[in-house]
Amino acid sequence: MNLPQPEAPLNRTEAESVVRTAVDEGTLDSVVALRLASNIRSEGVLEVLAEGAFESKRKFKGDVVTVSRNIFLPLTNLCRNRCTYCSFAKQPDSAEAHTYSLEEVAECVRGGVATGCTEALMCLGDKPEVAYRSHREWLKDRGYRTTIDLVLEACKVAVEGGMLPHTNAGILSVEEMEVLRPWNASMGLMMETTSTRLRGKGMAHFHAPDKDPAVRIRMHDEAGQLRIPFTSGLLLGIGENDEERIETLMTLRELQERHQHIQEVIVQPFHPKPSTPMRATAPIRDDEVVAWVALTRLILGPEMNVQAPPNLAPRMLERLARSGLNDWGGVSPVTVDFINPEAPWPAMEGLRELTEASGQVLKDRGPVYPDWLLGRPELFQPEMRKRVTRLATDEGYARRPTHQSDEEAA
């Protein structure tokens, strides 16, 4: 994408006009989006942008903001990629390297059920068996061919324990998605960025073949062809520029127009980690996070579920609540954010209070959004639909789980 670079600055009045059009039409084109993004420091422009996105959100989503009580299961922190901002992935000889046993999964699930969580988030490194012989042997010793065999068994344990899995295991083939689908309420892959520039030497994704944008777009497309309720998102601040962020959002919009399968888009600011090559990178500014949540809302339209993780932006939650998001993502009473362990979850009561202070109400959801559960039943295989419905209220919000097997519940 080669967008014309904005020549003249945008003033508040012009911003009001273009944002008004975007709210009324339910979308924003790339040239105008770049003009807004380039001018968020001009007086009044960011406020106008956030107010417009907030209005767009309220048009379709009303005054509800959702949150998912979840458990985070990092099934393995080994990964074949080496993104230069990542502190999650460990080398096999590290004392912190760990791959979960099914007993550990079951223990976490019990903790989740006991604390009212419905979502079991399976998040892990990409295909470590490709890079590490020790991991291949670990899998073989337990009768698994690949890490995805372990993920499948972990999902079954979570379902048996009374929770609903959502898997983000990196790049999956069509066959792998088909195998995991009956045991997952929804699945996901962060697009992160469609910038091919970041695959260049010295850039964040140089040693990360699975971060090739073409590979990620292909998996989004294949998940759409399989009609899997899918989570995606942007990672902000890893070296991409405004134009590349807009290109990423436009790509997500095209994928959604093609398949209608993206149920949420996460806007995630990158936090520099001390142990990584990108430790000296300046964190993204608060204003930028607010602006990109707002631009995501306006580009993807009022129906999209837009999420910003509250633990990654603790100083600006009041502003974020009024910038177009309708979801705070997963918050866990049991597990830490293993991707950003330095960033604690906010207390649920505090999140409720600040959401209410913005004139909205906080409601619990599961890994499937209420409008999808009630409005898109064809996306769920019959058994999973029963499980998801069992853990939902009549309005589609989360119901506190109890340990009950499928047979007991039938």
| Tokens describing residue 74 | 């990092």
Smaller CB separation from ligand SF4, 78 or 108 = 78
Please give the DSSP secondary-structure letter assigned to residue 365: E
By CB under 6 A, the residues from 241 to 260 that bind ligand SF4 are none
Residues with Cβ within 8 Å of 324's Cβ and at least 6 positions away in sequence, in order, are 50, 53, 54, 56, 57, 293, 294, 296, 297, 298, 306
Which of 126, 240 has the CB closer to ligand SF4? 126
Run of H or E residues at 123: strand 119-123
Smallest separation (angstroms) from ligand SF4 to the CB of 50: 29
Identify which of residues 87 and 186 has a Cβ nearer to ligand SF4 in the complex: 87
To the nearest whole angstrom, how small is the minimum distance from the Cβ of residue 123 to ligand SF4?
A: 9
Closer CB to ligand SF4, 39 or 195, in the complex: 195
Residue 21: exposed, middle, or buried by beta-carbon count in 10 A (0-12, 13-18, 19+)?
middle
Report the nearest approach of ligand SF4 to the CB of residue 120 (Å). Answer: 19
State the Cα–Cα distance between residues 155 and 124, nearest whole angstrom: 13
Residues from 262 through 281 that contact ligand SF4 (CB under 6 A): none
Residue 338 CB partners (closer than 8 Å, separation 6+):
72, 74, 77, 88, 123
Nearer Cβ to ligand SF4, position 26 or 283?
283
Q: How many residues bind ligand SF4 (CB under 6 A)?
A: 12
Rounded least distance, CB 24 to ligand SF4, Å? 39
Window 190 to 209, contacts with ligand SF4 (CB under 6 A): 208
Least distance from C-beta 72 to ligand SF4, angstroms? 13
Measured CA to CA, the distance from residue 113 to residue 406 in angstroms comes to 15
CA distance 405 to 161: 7
Q: Give the chain's end-to-end CA distance (angstroms, integer).
A: 52
CB of 89 to ligand SF4, least distance (A): 4
User: In whole angstroms, what is the distance from residue 315 CA to residue 145 CA?
Assistant: 45
Name residue 365's beta-bridge partners.
68
Site for ligand SF4 in 75-134 (CB under 6 A): 79, 81-83, 86, 88-89, 125-126
Q: Quote the CA–CA distance of 214 and 226 in Å, as a whole number.
A: 18
Q: Which residues contact 67 (CB under 8 A, 6 or more apart)?
A: 327, 328, 329, 330, 331, 348, 351, 362, 363, 364, 365
Which is closer to ligand SF4, CB of 81 or CB of 251? 81
Cβ nearer to ligand SF4, comparing 237 with 401: 237
- Binding residues for ligand SF4 restricted to 135-174, rule: CB under 6 A: 170
> Residue 162 or residue 309: which is nearer to ligand SF4 going by CB?
309
Nearer to ligand SF4 by C-beta: 88 or 345? 88
Q: Report the site for ligand SF4 in 15-54 (rule: CB under 6 A).
A: none
Distance CA 189, CA 212 (A): 13
The pattern of x and - marking residues 210 through 229 that bind ligand SF4 according to CB under 6 A reads x-------------------
Of 23, 18, 14, 5, nearest in space to 44 by CA: 14
| Interacting residue ranges for ligand SF4, rule: CB under 6 A | 79, 81-83, 86, 88-89, 125-126, 170, 208, 210
